[in-house]
A and B are shown apart, each in its own frame.
Chain A
Amino acid sequence: MKNTKEVVIEKSLFLIALSAIFMLFLIAIFIFKEGTPLIFKVGFKNFVTSSKWFPLEGQFGIFSMILGTLWITAGALIIGVPLGLSCAIFLSEFVPRRIMAILKPTIELLAGIPSVVYGFIGMVVLVPLIRENLGGPGLSILAGSIILGIMILPTIISISIDAIQAVPRSYREGSLAMGATKWQTIHMVVLKAARSGIVASIILGMGRAIGETMAVIMVAGNAVKIPRSILDPARTLTTNIALEMGFAAGDHRQALFATGVVLFIIIMILNIIANYAVRKR
């Protein structure tokens, strides 16, 4: 009797354990089911290479949003990666463990702050600053990049610290024993050994930047056009969906789901690479 109960529990826990992967499939199925008909109708090549987005006239091309996402994400990485990595190295190598034990969770607090708060601060502090000092509308790729660069810091710092700390002590001792300075040891031994974890942190940060929506809506200007400079406004894939979902219907709504399909594919590719990079360690 007891045995059957145990078996039933084990089987049901197995089903529950599959819930995450099941949900992932469910999301993929519904996004694809709703988005792919329009991609076939317009043609995939046309959908991603045309920059004509006139939903009311039935023209759906997301090229300018793909560029917008690329520019803003690249900008976020240019700001977030050096800052985040420096922080991770400093905290794990130059600061006593006890202080790091306080500073790491403090920085991780950055991840808990809602994205609308970042967007708001970008809108009222950063955008006017850019408009007055650098010209242009202020709502721009630059503003989006800076805000996203800050938002990906906790991801990069936290995962990189874990990777750096996972490097065996003996590696450092070996290098120091050969007369290398601490910094030589860090950049020639520790960072090389922690490389795959650091790469994973950057990829996950990149995923976060590509996927962020509300903060970008509030600072990037959202204009549908091919950006020419970092002071131009831009629309990303995510903001395109969020801006128009409220009133879209028919083909237009399907086109937003199709934008979601492209986004989903990009994110899943990044997830797979990050997963591989972490495994390699």
Chain B
Amino acid sequence: MRLNPKTSQKIMRIVLGIATGLTIFILLFIIVFMLSKGIPVLNWEFLSNFPAKMGKAGGILPTIIGTFVLTLVAIVIATPLGVGAAVYLTEYIREGKITKIIRFGAESLAGIPSIIFGLFGFILFVVTLKMGWSILSGGLTLAFMILPTIIRTSEEAIKTVPYSYREVSFSLGATKWETIKKVVLPNALPGIVTGIILGIGRSVGETAAVIFTAGSSLRLPSSLFDSVRTMSVHFYILSREGISMKNACGTAAVLVIFILAMNLTAYWIMHKFTKRNL
């Protein structure tokens, strides 16, 4: 039987609409479920106390600090590399073989599973370079992981800076690097910051690459060579080993709230930024 084209259009529209509704429902379900289970656990003590009995009781303070320092190390290493690469790709070289190779490298790196990063960080930093399970090993591994994100967003940000800005700067006698430093980068800053925020989000949520490089110590770190446990790793250990579902949900709520806030900030900056340039 052949359907009337108009009828089939109506049917498809409904089917596609249901699929879209389902996707949005799943997204909302995940967020609402995690927050409704976790938020009742949250209070100041939970955030500011040390865990007791492996996390069965007490708070999550060291995991918050662990997440923070690990992410900081990753961002400090990945940002100059990512922005530098983006500047080179957009300002110094025409599209060609070299840009193709570099982009392929960045895109492939983005597709490498986090467990491979974990294996790699473990064998290079923890074992070969003898850094042990530490903030430095974990931070370096995460820096490798978020580099592609920072390259891609910085590149897009730099491309939106109008060419006329550069021409004005050149006509005033500025060199290429002066133009980049004083004109291009400041104007691309919101986009670059968006990339950094997305990188922070990815670092904070990562588990597989972190657990084998930064370890899972619940003590407060006193140097870059100490092991830390991030919130994601803590959440994983608590829920998988059945130590405390209540505290696991609390940790996850902090994690989800933080990641939502990061993403919203990123979109907000991006939105303001693109509007300004129109």
Residues of A within 8 A of B (CB): 2, 5-6, 9-10, 12-14, 16-24, 26-27, 30-31, 34, 82-84, 86-87, 89-91, 94-95, 103, 105-110, 112-121, 123-125, 150, 153, 157, 180-184, 204, 207-208, 210-214, 217-218, 238, 241-242, 245-246, 256-257, 260, 263-264, 267-268, 270-271, 274-275
Task: List B1-36 residues whose CB lies under 8 Å from chain A.
Answer: 5-6, 8-9, 12-13, 15-17, 19-20, 22-24, 26-27, 30-31, 33-34
Name A9's closest neighbour in chain B (CB-CB): B177
- Are A211 and B240 in contact, CB atoms less than 8 angstroms apart? no
**B208 contacts chain A at the CB level, 8 A cutoff:** yes
CB distance from A254 to the nearest CB of B (A): 10
Residue A17 contacts which of B8, B84, B115, B248 (CB distance < 8 angstroms)? B84
CB distance from A201 to the nearest CB of B (A): 13
Interface residue SS majority, chain A: helix
- Are B201 and A245 in contact, CB atoms less than 8 angstroms apart? no
Residue A214 contacts which of B88, B117, B207 (CB distance < 8 angstroms)? B207
Residues of A within 8 A of B50 (CB): none
Give 6 A-B contacts (CB < 8 Å), ordered by A residue.
A90-B20, A109-B260, A150-B26, A182-B9, A241-B115, A275-B104
* Docked complex Cα distance between A21 and B13 (Å): 44
**B52 contacts chain A at the CB level, 8 A cutoff:** no
- Are B208 and A13 in contact, CB atoms less than 8 angstroms apart? no
Task: List B169-214 residues whose CB lies under 8 Å from chain A.
Answer: 175-177, 198, 201-202, 204-208, 211-212
Residues of A within 8 A of B177 (CB): 5-6, 9
Residues of A within 8 A of B116 (CB): 27, 31, 211, 260, 263-264, 267
With A109-B260, A183-B12, A204-B111 as known contacts, state yes or no: A123 contacts B105, CB within 8 Å. Answer: no
Residues of B within 8 A of A5 (CB): 177
